[in-house]
């Protein structure tokens, strides 16, 4: 786990929300080893890089707990989410354990704007983790696409 990936920024409006801080602490304990290994293999990246994407997924999925609006993950995080979804029992147990219910991955309807959803995600990531969400899907020195 990246040491800082799930630490709230000093300016986060959630820094005094004990329930949210506990959620982040609990997520830090998750490895999702099989998912990370499969994702790394399928994307031809290292386990370290795949683990960073997992941490970015944790940032994103934690925001579903506090967002009043639909949010959309960056592409690479969405790809990790797709990989996690094929581990159906593990994903359901993860959702039940950390969120108390199954978190559905739903394609956007025509009424919803992916751009607006992604802007909401970007704002929440910045406000709470000082993380930047990018749309690219490259694997370079700055990868993964969300950095804390």
DSSP H stretches of helix in 30-113: 33-43, 47-63, 75-85, 88-99
What predicted TM-score, i.e. pTM, was given to this entire model? Answer: 0.83
In a domain, 31, yes or no: yes
Q: What is the pLDDT of residue 135?
A: 47
In a domain, 9, yes or no: no
Q: How far apart are CA 28 and CA 98, in angstroms?
A: 11
In a domain, 30, yes or no: yes
Q: How far apart are CA 101 and CA 92, in angstroms?
A: 8
Q: What is the pLDDT of residue 59?
A: 93
In a domain, 66, yes or no: yes
pLDDT tens digits in sequence order for the chain, 148 residues long: 555 578 898 889 998 999 999 999 999 999 999 999 999 999 999 999 999 999 999 999 999 998 888 888 888 999 999 999 999 999 999 999 999 999 998 876 655 556 667 778 778 887 888 776 654 443 333 323 332 2
In a domain, 57, yes or no: yes
69-107 per-position pLDDT tens digit: 888 888 899 999 999 999 999 999 999 999 999 999 887
Q: How far apart are CA 112 and CA 31, in angstroms?
A: 33
Which domain does 31 fall in, by range?
Answer: 18-147
Q: What is the pLDDT of residue 1?
A: 52
How many domains is the chain built from? 1
Q: What is the pLDDT of residue 109?
A: 62
In a domain, 12, yes or no: no
């Amino acid at each position: 786990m990246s040491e800082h990936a799930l630490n709230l920024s000093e300016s986060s409006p959630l820094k005094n929300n004990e329930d949210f801080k506990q959620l982040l602490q609990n997520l830090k304990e998750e490895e999702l080893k099989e998912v990370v290994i499969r994702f790394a293999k399928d994307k031809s990246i290292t386990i370290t890089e795949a683990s960073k994407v997992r941490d970015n997924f944790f940032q994103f999925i934690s925001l579903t707990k506090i967002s009043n609006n639909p949010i959309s993950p960056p592409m690479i995080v969405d790809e990790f989410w797709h990989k996690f979804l094929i581990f159906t029992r593990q994903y359901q147990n993860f959702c039940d354990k950390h969120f108390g219910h199954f978190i559905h991955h739903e394609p956007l309807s025509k009424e919803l704007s992916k751009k607006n959803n992604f802007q909401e995600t970007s704002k929440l990531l910045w406000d709470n983790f000082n993380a930047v969400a990018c749309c690219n899907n490259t694997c370079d020195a700055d990868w993964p696409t969300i950095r804390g």
